[in-house]
Structures are given as structure tokens and as C-alpha cells.
Amino acid sequence: MAFEEFLAERLAPLLRYATTLTCDPHQAQDIVQDVLLRAQQRWTEIARLDLPSAYVKRMVTNEFLSWRRRRWTRDVSVPHGVMVDLVAASADPTTAVDDRAVLLAGIARLPRKQRAAIVLRYYDNRTDAEIADELRCSEGTVRSHISRAVDRLRADLAAGACREEVR
């Protein structure tokens, strides 16, 4: 498969996957672009693999987990409208506190490895063993990541329900 064919077939799913990991379409695009630029340099080698798409997807996972924090702590240059744009892209302005909105925000706040484990489980339907292989950790660690993430998300839901009752 040529690199251009790979892009045509797999780019959209890769961007969707990266967006679930990052919860931020802009960051997802940056990550996928960086990964593809590296992948195309070694495309002859990657194309020979049984599942090139799985290999590139793992590159996206690794890139997400190692993404530098500096951009978030030093973005002194954020123009005035950026926050508004981000909000417009990601918020339901009519929301009170419903479960879906609470979970959307809660997933975005999870630590990266917990979020990756949740995405691999509930978006990619992977088993513990497959997630462990993707994240290069033990199955026990995967179960721990998912358990902690689920606890946090359930706590978010409970807190949201309390706020709703107060209203």
C-alpha cells in the first residue's frame, strides 16, 4: 500500500482516535501530523508489516502519552478569541448538568494513561491484554488505570447529580 493510499483509507479514523485521546481536535491534528511525517520517512518498512494501520495507531498513542506539557503552561500568546473558539467547538451551550456533558468533561480531565486506557477499552473495544500491549504495561496496571478512571467518572456523575438537585 502506498503512503497516499494509507492516508486516504486511514487518516479519518486516526484523527477520530487522536481526538478521543486528546479531547482537543487541534492537538489531535498536530499529533497525527507529526506521526504521519515520521511514518512516511519509514513507509517502505512500515508498509511491509502485517498491520501498518495498527503500527501507526500505536505511534499516535505513544505521541499522545509523551506530548510535551510546555505548550499548555506557556501559551502566553493565546489570542483573545481562542478560548471562545475552543468553547464553541466543544460545548453544548444549553447544557445544565447532564450525564453526557459531565462525562465528556470528566474524560478530558483524566490523567493521560487513564484516559488512553478508557479510550482503548470503550472506543476501541480492546481487552486488558491488548491495552497492556498498546500501553506497554502489565494487565494489572491496565485494570488499575481503568478502575481509577471509572471511579473518578462515577464521582463526577454523582457530583453532577447533586448540583442538579440543588438547582
> Contact positions toward other proteins, by CB under 8 A?
7, 11-12, 15-20, 23, 25-26, 28-30, 32-33, 36-38, 40-41, 68-74, 76-77, 83-84, 86-87, 89-91, 93, 99-109, 111-112, 118-119, 122-123, 150, 153-154, 157
Residue 37 or 50: the one with the smaller Cβ distance to other proteins is 37
Residue 40 or 141: the one with the smaller Cβ distance to other proteins is 40
Q: How many other C-beta atoms can be found within 10 angstroms of the C-beta atom of residue 19?
A: 18
Instruction: Please say whether the dihedral angle defined by the alpha carbons of residues 100, 129, 151 and 113, taken in this order, is positive or negative.
Output: negative
Find out whether 105 and 156 touch, Cβ atoms under 8 Å. Answer: yes
Residue 2 or 50: the one with the smaller Cβ distance to other proteins is 2
Which residues lie closer than 8 Å to 72 by C-beta, 6 or more apart?
Answer: none
CB of 82 to other proteins, least distance (A): 10
Alpha-carbon distance 135 to 61, whole Å?
8
Residue 16 or 136: the one with the smaller Cβ distance to other proteins is 16
